[in-house]
Amino acid sequence: MLNPRLIVPIFFTLSFSTGISYAEEVTSIAPSKIVYEEDYIGEVPKVLTISRLPQSIADSPSAVTVIDRETIRAAGIVDLPEVFRLIPGFYVGTNAGYVHSTNHAVSYHGLTTAYSGAMQVIINGRSVYSPLYGGVQWSELPLAIADIERIEITRGPNAASYGANSFFGVINIITQSPQTMSTSSNNSIIATHGNGRNEAFYRQAGKWDQLSYRVTTGFREDDGLRERNDFKRTRLLNAQADYRLNDLNSVEFEFGLVDGARGEGNINEDPILFLPRTKQINNHFQLIRWRHNMSETSDLTLQGYHSFDRSDDQSTSIDISTLFPGAVAPGTFINEKILVETERYDVEAQHNFSVGPHIRAVWGGSVRQDSMLAPHYLGTDKKDYFDLQRLFGHTEWRAHEKLLFNAGAMIEHNDFSGTDISPRMSLNFQPSPNHIIRIGASSALRTPNYLEEKFNRFVTAPTVFPGVSLLAQFYASKGNVKPEQIVSREIGYIGKFGRLNIDSRIFHDSISDHIRLRGRRAGDFIPPPGFVRVAGEADTGLNDGSAVIDGIEAQVKWQILSSTQLLMNFAHVHIRETQEGLERNYEKAMPNNTFSALLTHKFNSHWDASFAYYQASQATMLGDGDPVDLMRRADVRLARKFNSGKWHGEIAAVIENVFNHQYEEFADYNTLGRRARLNVSVNY
Domains in the chain, please, with CATH?
4-447+483-513+545-683 (2.40.170.20)
pLDDT of the residue at 334: 86
pLDDT (mean) for 160-167: 93
pLDDT (mean) for 67-82: 95
Give the tens place of pLDDT for each residue, 304-344: 999 999 999 888 888 888 889 999 999 998 888 899 999 99
In angstroms, the CA 669 to CA 625 distance is 10
In angstroms, the CA 401 to CA 570 distance is 32
Give the tens place of pLDDT for each residue, 582-627: 556 788 899 999 999 999 999 999 999 999 999 999 999 888 788 9
The residue with greater pLDDT, 36 or 451, is 451
pLDDT of the residue at 225: 87
Among 113-122, 270-279, 547-556, top mean pLDDT goes to 547-556
Give the tens place of pLDDT for each residue, 227-248: 788 899 999 999 999 999 999 9
* Pairing between β-strand 169-175 and β-strand 119-123 as defined by DSSP bridges: parallel
Q: Sheet harboring 119-123: ordered strands across?
A: 34-35, 63-68, 148-155, 169-175, 119-123, 126-127
Answer yes or no: pTM beyond 0.75: yes
pLDDT (mean) for 93-101: 73
Coil vs helix vs strand at 580: coil
Comparing C-alpha atoms, which of 455, 394, 388 is closest to residue 420? 388
Comparing C-alpha atoms, which of 427, 434, 447 is closest to residue 500? 434
Chain centre to alpha carbon of residue 595? 21
Q: Average pLDDT of the chain?
A: 88
Q: How confident is the model at residue 375 (pLDDT cuts 50, 70, 90)?
A: very high
Q: Supply the Cα-derived Rg of the chain in whole angstroms.
A: 25
